[in-house]
Structure 1
Amino acid sequence: MKENHENKHVPNEQIDAKEILEKYDKESNFRIKLGKWAWVVTFLGVSLTVFHLYTAFTSVLPSQQQGAIHLGTALGIIFLLFPAKKGLQKKQRTVPWYDVLLAFVAMYAGYHKIIFYDDLTLATINGYTTLDVIVSIIGILLLLEATRRTVGVPIVIVASIMILYTIFGNLIPTKVLSHAGFAVNDMSTNLWFRSSGVFGTPIQISAKFIFLFLFFGVILVHTKIGQFFNDLALSLTGRYTGGTAKTAVVASAMTGMVSGSSVGNTVSSGSFTIPMMKKSGFKPEFAAATEASASTGGQIMPPLMGAAAFIMMEYLSVDYSTIMLAAIIPAILYFTGIFIGTHFEAKKLKIHGLPKSELPSFRKLMMKNGFMLLPLIIIVGTILAGFTPQRAALMGVVSAFLISFIRRETRMNLRQIVEVFEQGARVALPVIAACATAGIIAGVVSITGLGTKFAAGIIALSGGILPFALFFTMIACIILGMGLPTTANYVVTATIAAPVLINEFGVAAIAAHMFVFYFGIVADITPPVCLAAYAGAGIARANPFKSGVTAVKLAIAAFIIPYIFIFNPILVLVDVTPLKLIFALTTSLIGMIAVSSAVIGFLVRNSRIWERLVLFVGGLLMIYPELVTTVIGVVMMGAIWFIQKQRIDDGGEMELRATV
């Protein structure tokens, strides 16, 4: 690709990606200067990565002990790396003494579970010692503080409310939510030492699978696979109508598979795609929204998906290949909606593709860099062959590491290997903190019976009507997602809401879990708190709120498809035959074209309001995989297509385009 193509924008629009990340991504607010403690952070980070590689090879530790080292070491690094207040990371010249103290106390709180492992195992019968109680209280408090520093305040507020609910549940006047209440020592030891709390399923999955996949992503980034994805997407789509926007969709889908971070993916890919979209004629808000919605979808894009997908595997007691395969059709529909939306917007604005001379050659790219796709192919093949995600991640890490030595510019010396190992631990810190804090919430649900109480509340509120129950669940997921990272949001909703849909309404288990997973993710682009859209707007110099609204329009599939696969789980491969699958996929794709056309306001020509309504309803009928509804939907879409083809002009009734 030609170098001048990427940065052809005026000087006052220079993008400071790091500044935007620090503003919208809590994970990027780490200390710049560590002083003499830099080597300690490096040692702990490298040790943590080596530990996970070793346990993946040998599988020698029980999950509780592995989780204790996983969390304890991570907490120590967090207090050394992340300041107590935003802005201090640039001002402090070294790690202050109080954070050093907190780091080592937090590490001991985690390692205490290993040092006294046998005694703590028997403590459920013999009782906990005073030291155990003190350690558990300190551990929970330091975990909450570490989570606040790396993830943000909202999840800490939710976890704190749950802790207070555990202690003071007996004071709640309503019988629907009240419970007997727990003493502080019982609450803390239950949450810190037992397998249903902090060291429950989320942190165990983080230690076994998620860390390795994040490390795999770090190595791939080192091989500059992101630039390869950008070039590959540009070569495939750049020549077509609105090619720059389509490039953003394809590139972000591929990059999102590796990164799993909505905001991080928006900034990394958007630094390349957003200026390119603006230059070709797209409005800043649309450019920001396209990148944000596509980047957010990376978490639902197989084969890797987001971290929550691995926890879903454990909750459902299925192979990861089952999760991966179930996610394929919904992900295809999601990205089809965004891709077609950019096409119709380009048609509306008469934005053409780029000249062939400005595009990289697909054949040359594959000849030069095609080998970079091998680690992804190995991971998919290993999973489909029936091996565990842990083994697949390990194979991916090894293959990516070996591939990095093929080219001189990505070949690593000893110092760079150390840096990559340290970075592997760094990127995992927010996920580890979020998983552990989500474990607090899940633990409270377990010991207080809140899940049953929530189920009763949902049934009462919805009147036992499934669509209403789904709507209330969706709202809860989106609200939680505005403050909680996707992984924590999924743990909460999968613990509380998904069982209601499964047990009380007979929804297929994988469909119920996918439902809450989807709506936890789209919170990143749903106003008023839509961090991915805000990050994209920062790069595009666009109105953040308008960017969020436009992102919702583009990602409309994410708000529709979950309802469809609840009522007809063919889309998540439940009770499916090859013929049914082909029919469902074909009609759903055509339906998404109609829905995207309705949202953008263009099919053959600019659509009038009533035409958009007909297209939207017809699209929904086609997405629902039944013969009668599909036929009606096709007729409705065909009628609008015919009417618009006959219309010579819009007769002054053309809808006004949104102003910049």
Structure 2
Amino acid sequence: MAEKNVQNNRSNETSDIKGEQDQEYTSLKRDLTGWNRYLFMIIAVIGALYHLYILNFNPIDPWLFRSSHLVFGCILGFMLFSGWKSKNNSIHWIDWIFILATITVGYYIFANIDQLQFRFGVSPTSTDCIIATIGLVVVFELTRRASGWMLPILAFFFVAYVFAGPYLPGMLNHSGYSFDRFVTYIYGLDGVFGVTLDVSSKYIVLFIIFGAFLQISRVGQYFIDLSFAVAGGLRGGPAKVAIISSGLMGMMNGTSAGNAVATGSLTIPLMRKNGYNGRFAAATEATASAGGQLLPPIMGAGAFLMAEIIGIPYNEIIIAAIVPAILYFISVYFMVDFEAQKKNMKGIKRENLPKLKSIVVDSYLFIPIVLLIILLLNGYSIIFAGTAGIVTCFLISLPKKATRMGIKSILEALELGMKNSVQLIAVVACAGVIVGVIALTGVGMRFSSMLLSIAENNLLLALVFAMFISILLGMGMPTTAAYAVAASVVAPGLIQIGIEPLLAHMFVFYYAVVSAITPPVALAAYAAAGIAGTNPMKTGVQAFRLGIAAFIVPFMFFFSPQLLLQGDAIGGTILAIVTACFGIYLLASAVQAWFFKTALQWYGRIILLAGSIMLILSGILTDIVALALVMLAVMIQKVTKPDIKSSMNNKVSKNVSIK
């Protein structure tokens, strides 16, 4: 009975906050009613079934499929997102014009596909140019509505570079291109309809529909209940629940910010009740949600794009991603645990948590995820594995009335899948513009040459430079789009300076993910701050502190490739993982000023920071130096412990007297 009440309370908290925060996160999103609502549902369900049918039973020309994929995304997007803030939820006549333009462009490609494959970007007609221009305007406008100004502005700068290139000096100079050639090249298979939209049409939509089935069947709720059962009773339990649940849900969600809103509406209020301040609670949720994008097997759909770009089997990528994801979540766990120790927090009482027996009984709900992993690791196609996951999710929902999916639930899941796909369809199409400009102008190769010249003097400096560029390009964008852009600009340069393709792309992908918690445009932190009611910028800074270890982990790849589970030396791999975990612990201690249940003074923090860096530099000598530094820190702790306690007591008594 107590468990049921707790679950009801959690559901009520979620529903009370969710509607308000969804509006804050996507302020242009409409709440459709009446015939508009039914029309949206019909189009969304048809779109989902169309994708599943084409992917599994009747493949068609890639350009036609990607074009129809974009048409569905744009029609639904202009129905769902308003062009400006308004309390009126009806679809404006301007939206119908955009929808008509979308259908016109889609039909033109369908009717002239054979000729366009040879004309676009080479010798286009005036009609081709007009259609491509309209198509680009539609993509830019939908992206602005669905994800804000950041990505369209970045794409606009790249477009401007196409025409400004002849007047720029040095490495940025190029011969220039006519408008006709540019616009048809970009709105072709090398730009908007290139690799990013290819991955979106084949994989991202499929797995978002899979995630919708998990959600509607309440299998996703089981992930949250499992998180409460496992971590809710631990010290500072709600924060650890947020780490686990946000990680599990985040791997299926292509946006860190969207996941922060979805799970944060539950976890952030619980963290605040447990004693965490609002800013720390929001930052924890944002950091965990971003980490979900690193978690195999789905990795927020970024893994599919990576496999497509570098031509490495998908199962190799998810195996390589296991240890980096674990290191990320270990670092966040240490951060929140040290905070809980400092504030002497307790966990949630056991009687208020889901019963372990019911969690074990319902463990069969994990079957869709387990089956997905097994199929992917055994070399089955991504499409087959994703479809099997959807079917399995439906089948395992049938035994219990609480999870059973009828016709209505299936239609809701199909609609939700397409609805949740709209933003990602928009951003990958817009990212395709940037990728197309990079290919057309060759600026990516110029950037590679610049990285190569830096690396000749200092390889570490080249990596740092690549890190900053990846974060900068990813700010304000969903993970998939951020990675697509960074992979086009930065990864080729890293490969050219001698880094293995998988390592280079994992390096870039990692920073594309953490850009969501990097000020000044920490999108996931801002979304979580809206729920907590805290200052967005300060929340972003706090999230950056919590995720600081994540900024170090990619450098560990370079110094210890074993962390990507590459190579046959099992002993060396185990040693690399153990030392990396220890290094993460030391780094978290230095950041949180807490070591072995005792506060750290400034010199202790410097010592532990140096020790963590030594462990990152992977080598017997550096490991020995790190061990010596840790022993020095422990000795200092023993000597200064009474003074630190006295100092802390003085601070507490001072705070009490002030009150």
TM-score bin (small chain): over 0.9
- Find the counterpart in structure 2 of residue 589 from structure 1: 581
**Structure 1 residue 4, shift from structure 2 partner:** 5.6
**Structure 1 residue 59, shift from structure 2 partner:** 4.9
Q: Distance in 1 between matches of 2:379 and 2:126?
A: 46
Greater CA deviation, 37-46 or 329-338?
Answer: 37-46
Q: Distance in 2 between matches of 1:457 and 1:219?
A: 46
**Structure 1 residue 619, shift from structure 2 partner:** 2.0
SS in 2 for 1:306: helix
- Find the counterpart in structure 1 of residue 266 from structure 2: 272
- Residue deviations 1:209-268 (CA, integer Å, cap 9, x gap): 111011100110112233322221121122322222222211211121223431222222
- Find the counterpart in structure 2 of residue 506 from structure 1: 498
Q: Distance in 2 between matches of 1:14 and 1:376?
A: 26
- Find the counterpart in structure 2 of residue 518 from structure 1: 510
Q: Distance in 2 between matches of 1:374 and 1:336?
A: 25
Q: Distance in 2 between matches of 1:418 and 1:590?
A: 48
- One-letter code aligned to 1:186: R
> What value does the CA root-mean-square deviation take over the aligned residues?
2.5
- Find the counterpart in structure 1 of residue 150 from structure 2: 154
Q: Judge conservation of contact 1:202–1:439 (CA < 8 Å) in 2.
A: yes
Verify: 1:453 aligned to 2:446, yes or no: yes
- 2:284 aligned to 272, 290, 311, which one? 290
- One-letter code aligned to 1:110: G
- One-letter code aligned to 1:187: F
- Residue deviations 1:477-520 (CA, integer Å, cap 9, x gap): 222222222212211111111111111x2112111111111111
**Structure 1 residue 380, shift from structure 2 partner:** 0.3
Q: Distance in 1 between matches of 2:164 and 2:620?
A: 54
- Find the counterpart in structure 1 of residue 368 from structure 2: 375
Equivalent positions of 1:243-392 (< 5 A) are 243-367=237-361, 369-392=362-385
**Structure 1 residue 110, shift from structure 2 partner:** 2.6
- One-letter code aligned to 2:325: A
Q: Distance in 1 between matches of 2:512 and 2:441?
A: 24
- 2:180 aligned to 172, 179, 185, which one? 185
Q: Judge conservation of contact 1:15–1:539 (CA < 8 Å) in 2.
A: no
- Find the counterpart in structure 2 of residue 102 from structure 1: 98
Verify: 1:66 aligned to 2:61, yes or no: no
- Residue deviations 1:310-346 (CA, integer Å, cap 9, x gap): 1111111011111111111111010001111111111
Greater CA deviation, 615-624 or 558-567?
Answer: 615-624
Cα 1:618–1:441 shift into 2, 3 Å: same
Cα 1:99–1:353 shift into 2, 3 Å: closer
- 2:526 aligned to 530, 534, 537, which one? 534
- Find the counterpart in structure 2 of residue 17 from structure 1: 18
Greater CA deviation, 519-528 or 434-443?
Answer: 519-528
- Find the counterpart in structure 1 of residue 110 from structure 2: 114
Greater CA deviation, 210-219 or 628-637?
Answer: 628-637
Structure 1: gaps of 5 or more residues: none
Q: Distance in 2 between matches of 1:525 and 1:66?
A: 35
Greater CA deviation, 526-535 or 423-432?
Answer: 526-535
Greater CA deviation, 347-356 or 150-159?
Answer: 347-356
Greater CA deviation, 388-397 or 225-234?
Answer: 225-234
Q: Judge conservation of contact 2:56–2:383 (CA < 8 Å) in 1.
A: no
Q: Distance in 2 between matches of 1:53 and 1:2?
A: 38
- Find the counterpart in structure 2 of residue 483 from structure 1: 476
Equivalent positions of 1:125-136 (< 5 A) are 127-136=123-132
Cα 1:528–1:180 shift into 2, 3 Å: same
Q: Judge conservation of contact 2:557–2:563 (CA < 8 Å) in 1.
A: yes
Q: Judge conservation of contact 2:120–2:185 (CA < 8 Å) in 1.
A: no
SS in 2 for 1:303: coil
SS in 2 for 1:258: coil
- Residue deviations 1:449-479 (CA, integer Å, cap 9, x gap): 1112222344556774222222222222222
Q: TM-score, normalised by structure 2?
A: 0.93
Q: Distance in 2 between matches of 1:126 and 1:601?
A: 61
**Structure 1 residue 6, shift from structure 2 partner:** 7.1
Q: Distance in 1 between matches of 2:417 and 2:121?
A: 39
- Find the counterpart in structure 1 of residue 51 from structure 2: 52
Q: Judge conservation of contact 2:121–2:182 (CA < 8 Å) in 1.
A: no
Structure 2: gaps of 5 or more residues: none
- 1:91 aligned to 88, 92, 98, which one? 88
**Structure 1 residue 49, shift from structure 2 partner:** 0.6
Q: TM-score, normalised by structure 1?
A: 0.93
Q: Distance in 2 between matches of 1:13 and 1:318?
A: 40
Greater CA deviation, 638-647 or 337-346?
Answer: 638-647
- One-letter code aligned to 1:263: A
Greater CA deviation, 98-107 or 620-629?
Answer: 620-629
- Residue deviations 1:159-178 (CA, integer Å, cap 9, x gap): 12222222332232x03212
Q: Judge conservation of contact 2:120–2:128 (CA < 8 Å) in 1.
A: no
**Structure 1 residue 124, shift from structure 2 partner:** 6.0
- One-letter code aligned to 2:433: I
- One-letter code aligned to 1:614: I
Verify: 1:402 aligned to 2:395, yes or no: yes
**Structure 1 residue 632, shift from structure 2 partner:** 2.0
Q: Distance in 2 between matches of 1:491 and 1:57?
A: 26
Q: Distance in 1 between matches of 2:546 and 2:8?
A: 25
- Give aligned pairs, total: 649
SS in 2 for 1:16: helix
- One-letter code aligned to 2:562: I
Greater CA deviation, 630-639 or 120-129?
Answer: 120-129
SS in 1 for 2:644: coil
- One-letter code aligned to 1:38: R
SS in 2 for 1:538: helix
Equivalent positions of 1:215-230 (< 5 A) are 215-230=209-224
**Structure 1 residue 382, shift from structure 2 partner:** 0.5
Cα 1:62–1:579 shift into 2, 3 Å: farther
Q: Judge conservation of contact 1:35–1:95 (CA < 8 Å) in 2.
A: no
- Residue deviations 1:384-415 (CA, integer Å, cap 9, x gap): 01012111111111111222323223323333
Q: Distance in 2 between matches of 1:329 and 1:617?
A: 23
- One-letter code aligned to 2:77: I
**Structure 1 residue 13, shift from structure 2 partner:** 12
Cα 1:134–1:285 shift into 2, 3 Å: same
Q: Distance in 1 between matches of 2:203 and 2:500?
A: 25
Q: Distance in 2 between matches of 1:353 and 1:651?
A: 24
| Percent identical | 35
Cα 1:69–1:590 shift into 2, 3 Å: same
**Structure 1 residue 303, shift from structure 2 partner:** 1.3
- One-letter code aligned to 1:523: S
- One-letter code aligned to 2:129: V
Cα 1:15–1:482 shift into 2, 3 Å: farther
- One-letter code aligned to 2:76: I
Q: Distance in 2 between matches of 1:122 and 1:55?
A: 25
SS in 2 for 1:397: helix
Q: Distance in 1 between matches of 2:469 and 2:258?
A: 25
Verify: 1:76 aligned to 2:75, yes or no: yes
SS in 1 for 2:566: coil
**Structure 1 residue 379, shift from structure 2 partner:** 0.6
- Residue deviations 1:575-608 (CA, integer Å, cap 9, x gap): 3522122111112112211111111111121001
- 1:638 aligned to 631, 635, 653, which one? 631
